[in-house]
Structure 1
Amino acid sequence: MSVSSLRPTATRLACTAFVLSLAGCSTLDSMFSTDKVDYRAASRQTQGLDIPPDLTQLAKDNRAQVQGGSITASALSAAKPANSTNAQSLVSGSVAAGAAGDVRLERSGAERWLHTSATPEQLWPQIRTFWQERGLEVIKEQPEIGTMETNWGENRAKLPQDFIRSTIGKVFDGLYSTGERDMYRTRVERSATGTDIFISHRGMQEVYTSQGRESTAWQNRPADPYLEAEMLSRLMLKLGGKEDAAKTIVAEAGSPAPATTPSSLKVGGETQGARRPLSEVPDSLSVNDGFDRAWRRVGLSLDRHGFTIEDRDRAAGLFYLRYADPEQAGKDEPNFFQRLFGAKAATPVRYRVSVKAEGIKSTVRILDDRGQAVSDDNAKRILSLLMDDLK
């Protein structure tokens, strides 16, 4: 047998060995990892990721300081400078990692959150570390009102794990995309017995903007209860909770929503159903819940829709919002390049979302910055978004 006849065989063997070695690595990975949520793989990508528009909120005017107990607008405006020490401790991360104390799951209907006897000052650095360990960068912190937001991340665990993807595809991982991005907001509320922790999810998906599929754009997709439950369970373990209880959170949430792969991207359209006419939106919403649950549900709904919450006053039942154009709600002001091409900053308007108990029910209204009930178009748009979550 000639040497020339052996060369193709040797080449084929080398290629086969290379593919099998990659397959072997993938098999080992699958043996030790069954996660359905993985942002760390995406965070290792240095190029090739099509990041959606940054939908973080408008800058806050820094009028608030940390308060013990409930946080009210009037108390914050008159806060003493000494309270800034607490704010600094929230950001500095100087609290010992094991200071979280006990943690347990609380639930009311479909809402779930964590409760611990630890203070927000003790929890804040651990929550920041938790998101960083998940592969998500914390891009916005407001310790004075207890909110923290991550950047937009891609859940690479949603990518199909066929033979090609799990072998050769690993080498060209940046060429694959789920067509989805996720962002999380953590809300930390001080209570009489400790701290309540809420996690809300916001999603974006890539859609084609023309029938010819030459270009795409990012649009909102519904919040995923499974992802919220998954992150809540992992945070519970991070803070010292029991594994069985953490698994229960995920089991009760069901299965994760399927990824929107490029082959199934829609052309335009709304992912959250057709928008109702403002004429069909009432001036107020009646919720069949007592105040405690109505307050939690309204807070989660505002978080999921990405509203800029400047302040909140549970005692008065008020969320203080800064709301811009309905198409720009929750978006940042244009950067230098956007302004260069004519983009204009939305003019924010301050509103208050009022949650008031009325017997065994609660009423949700929109107030202006003077506390007067309003029913303009912006108020109706806010109520329209809340309607879907509170029905």
Structure 2
Amino acid sequence: MNQRHAAASALMALALLAGCSDVNEFLGNEDSVDYKSTRRGEPLSIPPDLTQASSDPRYRAPSSGSTTFSEYQQQGQQQVASSSQTSNVLPQRDDMRVERDGDLRWLVVDRAPEDVFPKVVDFWTDTGFSVATNDPKAGLIVTNWAENRAKIPESWLRQALGAVLDSVWDSGEREKFRTRLERVNGRTEIYISHEQMLEKRVGADEGQVQWEHGKEDPGLNAAMLARLMVYLGTDVDSARKLVAQAEASPQSPVIQQDVRADGAMLIVDESFDRAWRRVGVALDSGGFAVDDRDRSAGDYFVRYVDTDTGAQQEEPGFFSRMFSGDKPAQATQYRVHLSESGGQTQVTVLNANGQRDSSSTAQRMLGVLKDKML
């Protein structure tokens, strides 16, 4: 009997130690972001040994067909000396900076989008997300919904059983991120925004669960921007300083919504460049699907589902969208057009034929953009 009790006690101790080790590892991470995707699916990757061996001079074959041992040894020493001068361990990076306009921060990388885009995709998958939209043509990356496990309280019961019953605990929050890349004068501008869903208990006994849209947090966007900088090669301290020291512009935009006979219009009291940036981020935050854009013509090609027309939208519920691979019905495509006039920028909606749209749907689209830009 004593032996049985001893064995049971030993098993319990091992379980507790495993749970504590995971919790300690969790607490050792100073970041408050630890996402777990609602869809699992790790991308294929090349084993590190296969990519690192080619850069190690010890594994390189002689350039000629034959060589003596002394010549091979001398060649290896020269290659080691040259590789130490160009080490890729903690390299100094000066090709990234953070710019800011109000609460909006974005990353400017002195590299072409063709080089940056695949690395940003890898960043999201390595962070714990699965990617729902990977569109290099539109420069758009959208993740699936994921849970921030760092929001789960660390009670003693959670510490004891977290490693065994991890699926039981839920933070009650879901986020998905949208990353947009722009090509500007040979550089790449990167914008990050997110949507949030919050779990709310309803009913007399609070036994029912209802998911509601939460408010976008600019601080979370800035945190993910800093993590992206670290992933692209900047050290942690430099990334934090660049994000924190980005000077905010004191100017707030003055936006007027004007309804005319030939169509509705937003008048943004800013230059085209600033208005283009603000409208792009507003489209991301407003849930518009951006298929393409033409900065030289001032056009965003977007799809929009008007939920106020009275027509029933055959869209799945929140959990269905998270766990199902089915796509909602195709929405109508519009063009959001920007043009500068007298130091101001006019924002209008064009239909598929390129004509000014005066419908109530166009007015509601501009209303959403106005709310997101203020």
User: Would the TM-score normalized by the shorter structure come out above 0.5?
Assistant: yes
Paired residues, what number? Answer: 302
1:309-388 matches, within 5 Å, as 309-326=290-307, 346=329, 348-388=331-371
Q: Residues 101 and 116 of structure 1 are in contact (CA less than 8 Å); yes or no, is this contact kept in structure 2?
A: no
- Report the counterpart of residue 288 of structure 1 in structure 2: 269
1:244 matched to 2:237? The reply is yes
- Structure 1 counterpart SS, 2:117: helix
The structure-2 alpha-carbon separation of the partners of 1:129 and 1:329, relative to structure 1 and needing over 3 Å to count, comes to: farther
Query: How far 1:390 sits from its partner (Å)?
Result: 1.7
Asked whether the 8 Å contact 2:37–2:130 carries over to 1, the reply is no
What are the Cα deviations for residues 133-157 of structure 1, in whole angstroms up to 9, with x where unaligned? 1011112111112111111111111
Structure 1 Cα separation of the partners of residues 312 and 295 of structure 2: 23
**CA distances 1:229-268 after superposition (whole Å, capped 9, x unpaired):** 1111111112223433411366579xxxxxxxxxxxxxxx
Q: Which moved more, 1:24-33 or 1:133-142?
A: 24-33
Instruction: Name the larger-Rg structure.
Output: 2
Deviation, structure 1 residue 384? 2.1
Q: What does 1:1-391 correspond to in 2, within 5 Å?
A: 14=10, 17-18=13-14, 20-22=16-18, 24-26=20-22, 28-30=24-26, 32-40=28-36, 102-208=95-201, 210-248=203-241, 251=244, 283-326=264-307, 346=329, 348-391=331-374
Question: Which one-letter code corresponds to 1:320 in the other structure?
Answer: F
Tell me, in whole angstroms, the C-alpha distance in 2 between the residues paired with 1:230 and 1:329.
Answer: 38
Could you tell me how far apart the structure 1 residues matched to 2:27 and 2:162 are? 18
Aligned-residue RMSD, C-alpha: 3.8
Distance 1:383 1:147 in 2: 22
* Equivalent AA in structure 1 for residue 307 of structure 2: P
| 1:347 Cα offset (Å) | 6.0
CA distance in 1, matches of 2:238, 2:327: 48
Q: What amino acid maps onto 1:238 in structure 2?
A: Y
Q: Deviations over 1:364-390 (max 9, x none)?
A: 222222333223222122122212222
SS of the equivalent of 2:162 reads: helix
Does structure 2 retain, via aligned residues, the 8 Å contact 1:290–1:357?
Answer: yes
The percentage of counterpart residues that share the same residue type is 37
Seen in structure 2, the aligned counterparts of structure 1 residues 347 and 128 have a Cα distance that, compared at 3 Å, is closer
> How far 1:224 sits from its partner (Å)?
2.1
One-letter amino acid matched to 2:30: T
Aligned partners of 2:29, 2:208: CA distance in 1, in Å? Answer: 35
Give the SS at the match of 1:154: strand
Cα gap change, 1:186 to 1:101, in 2 (>3 Å): farther
- The unaligned stretches of length 5 or more in structure 2 are 42-90, 247-258
How many angstroms apart in 2 are the aligned matches of 1:164 and 1:10? 23
Q: Equivalents in 1 of 2:301, 2:37: separation in Å?
A: 37
Q: Which runs of 5+ in 1 are unaligned?
A: 46-97, 254-277
Structure 1 partner of 2:59 = none
* CA spacing shift, 1:179–1:30, aligned 2, 3 Å: closer
Moved more, 235-244 or 124-133: 235-244
Q: Secondary structure at 1:167's aligned position in 2? A: helix
Whole-Å Cα distance in 2 between the matches of residues 245 and 285 of structure 1? 39
- Matches of 2:351 and 2:334, distance apart in 1: 5
Q: Say if 1:283 and 1:169 are closer, same or farther in 2 by CA, change over 3 A.
A: same
- Asked if the contact 1:103–1:240 (Cα under 8 Å) also holds between the matched residues in 2, the reply is no
Deviation at 1:309, TM superposition (A): 1.0
Cα drift, residue 305 of structure 1: 2.1
Q: CA deviation at 1:42?
A: 6.6
Q: Which amino acid aligns with 1:154?
A: E
Paired letter, 2:361: N
Q: Distance in 2 between matches of 1:329 and 1:142?
A: 29
Give 1:226 deviation, angstroms.
Answer: 2.1
TM-score, normalising length: structure 1: 0.66
Structure with the higher fraction of residues in strand conformation: 2
Structure 2 letter corresponding to 1:104: R
Q: How far 1:31 moved relative to its partner?
A: 5.3
